[in-house]
Structure 1
């Protein structure tokens, strides 16, 4: 009987210890795979491009349900397929690389707060853009804005470390094409989706240290 009570108490303590509180911070380096494509006035036979996806997120907790998610992420947008050119249909592959900064509300739910749902604006800073290996950075909007949305699940290992399984999506509000190169007033936006694995580390709590 005593052993059963001890196990129950320890299990309860472990669950409660894993629920984050106000002022606590998590840092989450991650790696995964992404797909991206264009939408809007595409006018070509296009397919998604598949690329690595990596970076690090930071969660600052306001209470045990809400946190601010931000960080630095390396995202590759673009498309591939065929477009109609001077010699008929021609194959193309375009890659647009960004350093991205999400500014998302993150809602943690379920009894043990294992699930989370994040949403909010993402700012993208252009680093490189190529079409079939040729530089096209000059014609691409250098700072872009869009909406990010994602869901994830935590696998608790101990009080200070968890593993996260994460899915994110992004849709761009900004036209890829700079206005001075866009005589036909076309809109071509970016769509992005990813799956990744996170190593989630809890840092010291500023509240608990007071």
Structure 2
């Protein structure tokens, strides 16, 4: 019986240690999510959102058991739909796609540090841009008018589910507010929300 107790204590200590993060730990997190996007003026005047699929991978480097730095590569679709609201009408719709690089600081909290929040900046590199002027031509290429780089502020909150000592699942809500106009011809900044699922692999 005492051997079973000793074995149980040893196993418990190993599992508990596996859940803890320490300075220098690295995690990789592939994610996929559903996104909605507006530009600020279209959001205020009731435009429908531009939806899409976000996917990519995060890398997380731990400074200690509560703080970490997170970056990665993400594919993101953003844009705005035309607006027809009372005295304000805008028949312009836009779609912009980016490869984005977030850089955030994460704080882990709660029971066994399963919750986390993060904040920081993001840089998006344009891959394609198109617009619909409602002139009968549908969406047309506007890559020559679009800004090639987007800067924004990022904030997110998430929760981790333990599957094994070195494998976790996460659910998170991530948001971006653009600081730069998407095109040279219009003053529009993206407002982007995504709800993501991810798998955490400890290296």
- Unpaired runs of 5+ residues, structure 2, are 133-138
1:55 aligns with 2:47: no
Given that 1:32 and 1:197 are in contact with CA atoms closer than 8 Å, whether structure 2 keeps it comes out as: yes
**2:136 aligns to what?**
none
Q: Which runs of 5+ in 1 are unaligned?
A: 204-210
Q: Given the two structures, how large is their TM-score scaled by the length of structure 1?
A: 0.82
Following TM superposition, by how much is the alpha carbon of 1:46 offset from its aligned partner in structure 2, in angstroms? 2.5
CA distance in 1, matches of 2:23, 2:45: 50
Please say if 1:155 is aligned against 2:161.
Answer: yes
Q: What pairs with 1:127-142 in structure 2 (closer than 5 Å)?
A: 127-132=127-132, 133-142=139-148
Shift of 1:42: 8.4
Show the 5 A alignment for 1:1-210.
Answer: 10-11=11-12, 13-40=14-41, 46-82=47-83, 93-132=93-132, 133-178=139-184, 181=185, 187-203=187-203
- The 2-side partners of 1:62 and 1:43 are apart by 40
Aligned partners of 1:90 and 1:175: how far apart in 2? Answer: 17
Return the alpha-carbon distance in structure 1 between the equivalents of residues 12 and 44 of structure 2.
58
Q: CA deviation at 1:16?
A: 3.3
- On the 8 A contact 1:56/1:72 being kept in 2, the answer is yes
Is the 2:42–2:83 Cα contact (8 Å) retained in structure 1?
no
Over aligned residues, Cα RMSD in angstroms? 2.5
Query: Is the contact made by 2:18 and 2:166 (CA closer than 8 Å) also made in structure 1?
Result: no
> Structure 1, residues 27-81: CA drift from partner, whole Å, max 9, x if none?
0011110000001488976221110110000001111111110000011110113
1-structure distance, mates of 2:43, 2:161: 41
Count of residue pairs brought into register by the alignment: 193
* Structure 2 length-normalised TM: 0.84
Report the Cα distance in structure 2 between the residues aligned to 1:112 and 1:43, rounded to whole angstroms: 40
1:78-127 Cα offsets, whole Å, 9 max, x none, are 0113469xxxx786542100110001001111231111111001011111
Are the aligned partners of 2:42 and 2:81 in contact in 1 as well (CA < 8 Å)?
no
